[in-house]
Amino acid sequence: MTLTYKVIPQYRPETKTTRSSRAAEVLDQPDADPLGFRRVFTQVAHDLYGTKDVQDAITASYVWMADQIGHLALGLLPTLLFGWIWQLLCDHWGLGEGWSIGGCAALALAIFAYWISKERQDYVDTYKRAVKRFPFDSSDITWNVKTALLYFGIGGLLALGALTNWKWLVVALLLSLWPAFRVAFWWLRRKLAFQQAGLPYLYRLTNFSGVIADDAVAAVTGLCDLKNRPIVLWKVLFGRDVIEKAAPVTVRHFLITGPLRSGKTSLAVGIGTEFAFALGIGRYLSAAKLMELKTGPRDDTKAVASEMDYDDGRVLWPLAECDLLIVDDVDGGLPTGTVPAISAIRPVEFAAALKTSHGPAPLGDLGGKRTVWVLGNTTTTDEWKTVIADLMGISEGEIMTVPLQVAPLPVAPGDAPAVPRAGDLSSRTA
């Protein structure tokens, strides 16, 4: 079963400074599927032509394409170099064409075997580094390795064709186009979902090292639709990249608290990252930004409520169309542990400002969606929970409080742990 999204009108600032940027703007189609081929193609055009400038933000989609060009080059250039040297030696020793072609093929296979061993070691290192408090998405990591090897292999195949005969080069190029295109589309959809969520960095939940209760792990896993989805190359090449319907969740709203360096923001960003890689439409922003968007002029807010937002050089999902909203730095103050504990944004004033502009339940549209709120000052947790529930028009019992603890440092055998174990924590307050 697939998810059906509303049409999200595209918005980008005009960049009519060059011929190429004007051509990229022509591709913008407001009625396109938000994660469909036309939207991905438009983003690629803007990455390569429309907004390719040192004064613009670097997008995740542009970085991914640059990475794959690097993989192609690492397969292509060594094969060309060593193959060329081998051909010179064959000419010097008077060896026939068979020796020349066979040697080039052996070199291409040897170079590809090296990249296989390196990617395999990278996978092992990634698995060892993962903390695994959350499920380790081995399928996704394996697919990442396969993607790198695919582009390594394409580079080597093109080099081998160039070293043998121009006809073989044409054949290699034609054989490479479809897999290169299909795999790129699979990845670029997810990079698009990630970058338009406004997340500050990419963070996978399996790397989360803070101390968190087991019931909170299960609830968060369901919230961000984290699954170990099998990814088969054959289906990527010839099947449809279907957006799976997100499973129903028992807890839709979370309030994350904890001391300094307990991983509050990392957990929130990890939730957003996993949701984006499941092709969910989510948004990350600060409480100050949320207030700015919600308390602006009502006519202006209504006019752009369903249009893409443009902030810090990136095109972002509109709040009205998001299925997940992550609000970081809710209190805008100093973290727990400071003396005195200070909050720049007070709960009562935050609620009053929103209600003045949008009535008694200004965030009522979020009640049926998924939300994550990150609080730095734990002394005001109960007060914020009451205010947030009231703003969304839900009961306090529908919000799960997730108290985090700093992960203990390694201790010598026989020493007592520095902090409580995850099972000793309670993640739901009354």
Give the position of tokens 């803070």.
210
Q: Which two tokens stand for residue 415?
A: 């020493």
How far is 327 from 178, CA to CA, in rounded Å?
40
How crowded is residue 72: how many other Cβ atoms within 10 Å of its Cβ? Answer: 21
Q: Residue 376 in 3-state DSSP?
A: coil
CA distance 204 to 218: 15
Q: pLDDT of 115-132, one tens digit each?
A: 999 999 999 998 888 888
The 10s digit of each residue's pLDDT in 193-210 is 999 999 999 999 999 999
> Collapsing DSSP states into helix, strand and coil, what is residue 415?
coil
Query: Which residues have a Cβ under 8 Å from the Cβ of 33 and sit 6 or more positions away?
Result: 5, 39
**What are the contacts of 385-388 at 24+ separation with CB within 8 A?**
385/255, 385/429, 386/347, 387/347, 387/348, 387/350, 387/351, 388/253, 388/255, 388/330, 388/363
- pLDDT tier at 359 (50, 70, 90 boundaries)? confident
Q: What tokens were used for 72?
A: 């192609």
What whole-number distance in Å separates Cα of residue 280 and Cα of residue 269?
A: 14
C-alpha to C-alpha distance for 226 and 208, rounded to whole angstroms = 14
The pLDDT value recorded for residue 426 is: 36
> Distance between CA 411 and CA 417 in Å, rounded?
7
Condensed to tens digits (0 to 9), the pLDDT of residues 407-430 reads 876 655 555 444 444 444 433 333
3-state secondary structure 109-148: HHHHHHHHHHHHHHHHHHHHHCCCCCCCCHHHHHHHHHHH
pLDDT higher for 407 or 105? 105
> Tens digit of pLDDT for each residue in 213-253?
999 999 999 999 998 888 888 999 998 888 777 777 889 99
Query: 405 by DSSP, 3-state: which?
Result: strand
Q: What average pLDDT does range 322-336 have in this prediction? A: 80
* Tokens found for residue 159: 């080099």
- Contact between 265 and 328 under an 8 Å Cβ cutoff? The reply is yes
Helix, strand, coil percentages for the chain (3-state, nearest 5): 55, 10, 40
**What pLDDT does 17 receive?**
56
User: What's the CA gap between 214 and 113, in Å, rounded?
Assistant: 41
Q: Is 211 helix (H, G, I), strand (E, B) or coil?
A: strand
Place of tokens 């999204």: 5
Residue 56 has pLDDT above 70, yes or no: no
Q: What is the C-alpha to C-alpha distance for residues 56 and 46, in angstroms, rounded to an integer?
A: 11
Q: Where are the domains of the chain?
A: 57-192, 200-409+416-424
CATH class entry, domain 200-409+416-424: alpha beta
Phi/psi for 36 (5° steps) reads -90, 180
| Burial (Cβ within 10 Å: 0-12, 13-18, ≥19) of residue 364 | middle
Parallel, antiparallel, or unpaired: how do β-strands 324-328 and 282-286 relate? parallel
Q: How many residues does the chain have?
A: 430
Give the burial class of 369: count Cβ atoms within 10 A of its Cβ; 0-12 exposed, 13-18 middle, 19 or more buried.
Answer: middle
The predicted model scores a pTM of 0.86
Per-residue pLDDT reduced to its tens digit, 364-381: 999 999 999 999 888 889
> Would you state the pLDDT for residue 331?
82
